[in-house]
Amino acid sequence: MKIFVSGFQHETNTFVPSRADYGEFDGGATGPILRGDALLALRDANVSMGGFVAHAQAHGYDLIPGLAAWATPSGPVTRDAFERIADEIVASARQAKADAIYLDLHGAMVAEHVDDGEGELLARLRDAVGPQTKIVASLDLHANVTARMFSCADALVAYRTYPHVDMADIGRRCGRVLERVMRGETLHRGIRRSPFLIPIEAMSTGRAPAADLYDKLRALESAFDLDLSIALGFPAADFDECGPTIWGYGPDQQVVDQALDTLFRQLCDKEADWSVSALSASDAVREAMSIAAHAVKPVVIADTHDNPGAGADGNSTEMLAALLEQRATRAAIGPLCDPAVARAAHAAGVGVTLPLTLAEGTRHALSNVFRVEAISNGECTLSGPMMSGAKLQLGPSACLVVGDVRILVTSKKVQMLDRNIYRMVGIEPERMAILVNKSSVHFRADFEPISEAVLIARTRTGSIMTDPAQLPWRRLSPGIRMSPLGHAFELASCA
C-alpha cells in the first residue's frame, strides 16, 4: 500500500489579535517545516505522525512524505501561510498517486479567510485525488469537528487524553482504521454534538467527569466492534461549529447509534460537573505558600490565562508580581516570552545584575533589578510523558533572579509542557517550593508526579479567557450554552 502522509496543525483562538504567519510554522518554537526523511524521523517521537509512521513501516507500507508543519496556538493563520502550506500538501498528494492519505491535523484551525481550515484542506485534497483514494486523519482532543471534515474524510480519530500523552497511540490507531477502510469494510458513522461549551481546565482526562466519559468510550469499544472518538472542542473559535463532538464508526449502524447515545447521555447528565473553579493571582500565591510551608514537593500553579497553548502571548507578569509582593521563596515561573529581555540577558552575561522591564509596552510591564543566573540557546528536547523526543527551538533564553524567584525568559512562546524547559536554563523544578507554569492542563503530565498540589489561577491581565461564557461571541451556533448550565447563545445578543 502506498500512503501519502502530511501534517498541518494550528489551534486558533479567534479572540486574540496575533496571527500565525508562515514563519511561525517554519522556524517558530516547533522548528522548521519537516519534509522527506526528516518527517519520517518522527517515528520515535510521541506525536501522532510518529505513531502512524512507525505502524506503517512495521507493516511494510510505502510511505510518501509530504510535509509536517506546526505552529504555537495564536490568533488566525494568515492567508499567505495557509495557502502556501495547503497548496504544497495538495500538489504533493496529487503527484504521489497514493492508495491512501494520512493527515496529522488539529481540528481547530481558523485562517484569516477560512473558518474551517481542516475542512478546507480536506476538501481540496478530495478534489485533487478523487473519491477512490482513502483519507484518514488524526485530530486533537480539542478539535471543533465540522460537517465538511466528516464529509471529505473516510475516518477521523481523536486523541483520548489531556494532557495528550496518547498521540503516538492515536497515530497507530489511525493506521488500523485505515486498514479496515482499505479492506473494503463498510463502516457506518454516527455523530452527536454537545449542547454546551466546556472550559479547557475542566477537560483534563485524569479526573472526573472527563475520565469517566473516556472510560465509558473504551468499554463500549471493547464490547462492540467500534472506533469511537470524543473531541471536547476548543471553546475560543468564534464560528457556528465550535463545540464538543462525539462520533464513531462500526459495521452496524444501530450499534454505533446506541453507543453514541450512551456517551451523549453521560456527557449531558454530568453537565454541572464540567464547570471549574479558579483563584486570583494573589489568592493562588497565598494558598501555595501556605501549602508549601509543610510540603516536601513543589506546589504548582497553572497560570491559565497566559497559556500560549490556548493562544495567549505568554508575557503576563501578574503572577510574577504576586510572587514578589508576597515574598515567595524557592519559586520559579515560566516560560515568559520576552525576546528583548532575553537578548539583554545574553548581552550582559551570567552573574551580571541589571535593571530590566519585562513585557515593556504592555499594561502589565514590570520593572526591577534582575540577576542573570543562566543563559541558553533555547534548544530543548522533551522527555516527559506528553511529547517525549520532540524538540523545541525557543531562541535565546535566560534564567533571571529577583529575590528568591526565578523567571524563565524565552524568545519564542510555548506553554510549559515538560520539566526540561525549566532545566534548559538550570532551574531544577523538583527543588522549588512553588512553580508557576504558563499552561492550563498539559503541564500535569510531567509535573503532577512531583507536585504536592495543583492550583488554577485566572489572572486579570492574561491575553485569553478560559471561561467561554466570558467571551464576546458573535457567530456561535444559536442555542448552544456558552458554559455548563450557562446561558444559551442568541444571535440577537451580539447586536
Domain membership flag for residue 381: yes
pLDDT over 80 (residue 494): no
Compute, in degrees rounded to 10, the torsion defined by CA atoms 161, 166, 170, 172.
Answer: -160
Domain membership flag for residue 492: no
From 257, 274, 291, the end of a domain falls on: 274
Query: What tens digit of pLDDT does each residue of 18-33 get?
Result: 999 999 999 999 999 9
Q: Are 109 and 143 in contact (CB under 8 A)?
A: no
> Sorting pLDDT into bands at 50, 70 and 90, what band is 492?
low
From 249, 274, 299, the end of a domain falls on: 274
pLDDT over 70 (residue 436): yes
Query: What tens digit of pLDDT does each residue of 88-115 get?
Result: 999 999 999 999 999 999 999 999 999 9
Are 266 and 309 members of one domain? no
Are 49 and 193 members of one domain? yes
Domain membership flag for residue 470: no
Domain membership flag for residue 130: yes
Q: In this structure, what CATH number is given to the domain that contains residue 187? A: 3.40.50.2300
Domain membership flag for residue 471: no
Mean pLDDT, residues 429-458 taken together: 98
Are 94 and 193 members of one domain? yes
pLDDT of residue 27: 94
Are 23 and 78 members of one domain? yes
Are 17 and 155 members of one domain? yes
Domain membership flag for residue 219: yes
Are 239 and 175 members of one domain? yes
pLDDT of residue 490: 94
Q: What is the mean pLDDT of the chain?
A: 97
Domain membership flag for residue 335: yes
Helix (H, G, I), strand (E, B) or coil at 486: coil
Q: Determine the longest span between alpha carbons in the chain, in angstroms.
A: 70
Quote the DSSP letter at residue 362.
S
From 245, 274, 303, the end of a domain falls on: 274
- Residue 436's Cβ-side half-sphere holds a number of Cα atoms within 13 Å equal to 38
Q: Determine if the peptide bond prior to 235 is cis (ω within 30°).
A: no
Which residue pairs, CB below 8 angstroms and at least 24 apart, start in 41-46? 42/68, 44/389, 45/168, 45/387, 45/388, 45/389, 45/390, 46/165, 46/167, 46/168, 46/385, 46/386, 46/387, 46/388, 46/389, 46/390
Query: What tens digit of pLDDT does each residue of 256-288 get?
Result: 999 999 999 999 999 999 999 999 999 999 999
Range of the structural domain that residue 375 is part of: 281-464
Domain membership flag for residue 299: yes
pLDDT of residue 410: 98
Mean pLDDT, residues 116-120 taken together: 98
pLDDT over 80 (residue 477): yes
Strand ranges in 323-451 using DSSP code E only, listed in sequence order: 331-337, 353-358, 366-376, 379-381, 391-393, 397-402, 405-410, 434-437
Are 234 and 361 members of one domain? no
pLDDT of residue 495: 41
Are 19 and 147 members of one domain? yes
pLDDT over 60 (residue 367): yes
> Sorting pLDDT into bands at 50, 70 and 90, what band is 440?
very high
Are 296 and 268 members of one domain? no
> Considering its fold, how many domains does the chain have in total?
2
pLDDT over 80 (residue 241): yes
Cell triple for 94: 496529487
Q: What percent of the chain has pLDDT over 70?
A: 99
Are 302 and 450 members of one domain? yes
Are 414 and 270 members of one domain? no
Are 329 and 230 members of one domain? no
What share of residues in the chain are helix, strand, coil (percent, to 5)?
35, 25, 40
314: number of Cβ within 10 Å: 28
Helix (H, G, I), strand (E, B) or coil at 73: coil
CA angle 49, 53, 59 (to 5 degrees): 150
Query: What tens digit of pLDDT does each residue of 157-212 get?
Result: 999 999 999 999 999 999 999 999 999 999 999 999 999 999 999 999 999 999 99
